[in-house]
Structure 1
Amino acid sequence: MSNTLNIARKEFADLANNKYLYIVLIIFLINLLMHLVSLYNFYKEGSISDPNFVKACLFDVMYLSSIYGGVTALMIGFSSMAGELTSGALNTLIAKPVYRDTVITGKLLGCIAYMLLFFILTAILYVSSEFILCGDVMAGQLLGLFARLPFIVIIALLYVMMFFLVSVLFRTLIDDNGMALTFSVLFYFVILIIPSSSVIISNIAALLGVDEVYLLGISRIIDPKESMVNISNSGIFDPSFSIISALSLSWLEFAKFIVIVLALLALCYISFLRRDVR
């Protein structure tokens, strides 16, 4: 356990000092600022009513943390493996009397802790900024807002874990950094674009000779964005709606995310444990 925690601490420190990740995080924060200003302007123009302001605020937190956070998680996963595999440091580590599962567990824990801290700080920064700008609107709903924030962060973390684990998997399987990063980015755009594009689905169905409606139904089942929409429609953002009721309406989407993350996690462990020391 001590070896695992030591590796996790080292991984967290390496990510905190990674200058390339700073660029990704700065872009993320610029997007956060743009969304914050946009929501404030919508409210001032009267486009968002007082009861819906907190809903919009919570939605923005989840949207920013999941969609833009997916790119951040992808880069974190890639950076976690790329540097040490390229330098040979990871091969040196797994050649020592430390179990390989200890190494991968420690690295994953360090990365997850980094992403979790990042999303928590994002949520706090966004909500506190909106409170400074529109505190009179949010004051009466603060309890409901803060009660929902942990669930919003968990949803976003489960979503971005898919991209994080895929980038770890590609970098473990592919020795070339550029090729591994290309496949990771390609996966990100495939997940974002193909399942929700009826035109692409129609062409794929014609190519495979299968029923278009059937394939479109399958794509919606596996589409993580569709799951995020279903969770959004469950009432999770509405302070006047019971959290228990919202979770009961979206438990299937949570289960889907958990199954996908566990499957990818298993693949990462298998690929890392079977990796040759070169």
Structure 2
Amino acid sequence: MNLNRLITISKKEFSDHITSRRFLLILFIICLVLGVAAANGVTNYYDALDKYKNGNEGYLFTPSILLAFSQITNSIGLYGLGAVIGIALGFDLVSGEREGRSLKTILSQPVYRDEVINGKAIGGIISLTLITLTGFLTVVAVFLIIGIVPSVDEFFLIGVIWLITLLFIISAFSLALMSSVLAKTSSGALILSLIILFTLVYIIPVGGGEFGTSVLLGPEPSENEYGSGSQSQMESFENLQYEYHLKESAIRDLFSMVSIQRVYNEITNPITMPSKYVINRIGFEEFTTNPDIAENVEKPSLWEILGDKWIKIIVFIMWPVLFFGIAYVQFMRADLR
């Protein structure tokens, strides 16, 4: 692989992206959606401040402007904007040129296949970097217009959220690139991308969790078996039920790691909503029965959050590598005649 040719192909792909109407439309949509989400997030931020001042138990720490980013990360992850952007930018990178018969012309030039596929990936990633960076700068501009100036630490955490968001969208882009290599037409690549995404985001996490629970754990312990029993039998039932729910939660959590969408939100939510994250870790029941525990709780640092989520971060990084790896191998072996 020649580095100069790789850079040339990457520049061409990047130029093709930023000069296309699709890129401008995506850029407009993400700026619009993130701008609106930021405005709504600021409203939630002021409401949280009022609740914190009034002693609301749901807020252990002083809310920061990062709370507004929960609306933004929900728009990108939970509501699917990030996946749509990644797929829209990558579903026809190879299949489109194959349909237009320009791919064979490109490969007839003194370039190698790995330079072509790597150049397409790099050009797309640079384009996504520009799109997401513009979207987040729009959010910061909304904050400044409203009169909110984030601190240095908050700017750093905003940068972390941006990097995680970029990786999430790159995962969807890699999925689309893989589908574009596997399918012969652009429409087929788009359909294949949506099918794989739907399977990973919904079918496996939900269906797998239900199936795994029913097969490995069986039915939940019934209260009827202990309803007329002694106190010790009732305590035994409560312990069995508690252990069952713990195992059920572990099984569902295992299957949920397949979903890049859920993992994205589970990594970003502790940064945007640390109070909710700490309460969930302590346990809501424990927190309500012993409210004094909040006095000894410290706000989690970024490194504590990353340390707690390290398995999911590894899985999160694994997906784009896996998708691109399949695309790379298939493109190198494909018959493009």
Instruction: Indicate whether the TM-score tops 0.5.
Output: yes
Unaligned runs of 5+ in 1: none
Contact 1:119 1:153 (C-alpha < 8 Å) held by counterparts: yes
Q: Aligned pair count?
A: 268
- 2:67 alignment counterpart: 56
User: TM-score normalized by structure 2?
Assistant: 0.70
Pair 1:235–1:31, CA change in 2 (3 A) = closer
- 1:33 alignment counterpart: 35
- 1:18 alignment counterpart: 20
* Residue 159 of structure 2, aligned match among 144, 150, 153: 150
Pair 1:6–1:68, CA change in 2 (3 A) = same
Answer with 162-171 or 213-222: which moved more.
Answer: 213-222
Shift of 1:233: 4.7
* Residue 219 of structure 1, aligned match among 250, 255, 273: 255
Contact 1:25 1:72 (C-alpha < 8 Å) held by counterparts: no
* Residue 317 of structure 2, aligned match among 258, 263, 274: 258
How do 1:122-137 and structure 2 match up within 5 A? 122-135=135-148
CA distance in 1, matches of 2:198, 2:30: 17
* Residue 92 of structure 1, aligned match among 90, 102, 105: 105
Secondary structure at the aligned position of 1:52 is classed as: coil
Answer with 166-175 or 212-221: which moved more.
Answer: 212-221
CA distance in 1, matches of 2:313, 2:141: 27
CA distance in 1, matches of 2:94, 2:177: 7
Q: State whether structure 2 residue 132 is matched by structure 1 residue 119.
A: yes
Answer with 160-169 or 62-71: which moved more.
Answer: 62-71
- Amino acid across the alignment from 2:16: D
Pair 1:237–1:47, CA change in 2 (3 A) = closer
Q: State whether structure 2 residue 163 is matched by structure 1 residue 104.
A: no
CA distance in 2, matches of 1:251, 1:15: 34
Shift of 1:211: 3.8
Aligned-pair identity (%): 21
Contact 2:209 2:255 (C-alpha < 8 Å) held by counterparts: no
Secondary structure at the aligned position of 1:216 is classed as: helix
CA distance in 2, matches of 1:247, 1:134: 31
Shift of 1:273: 0.6
What per-residue deviation string (whole Å, max 9, x for no partner) do you get for residues 148-170 of structure 1? 12321221122222211111111
Contact 2:13 2:120 (C-alpha < 8 Å) held by counterparts: yes
CA distance in 2, matches of 1:236, 1:40: 12
CA distance in 2, matches of 1:176, 1:4: 25
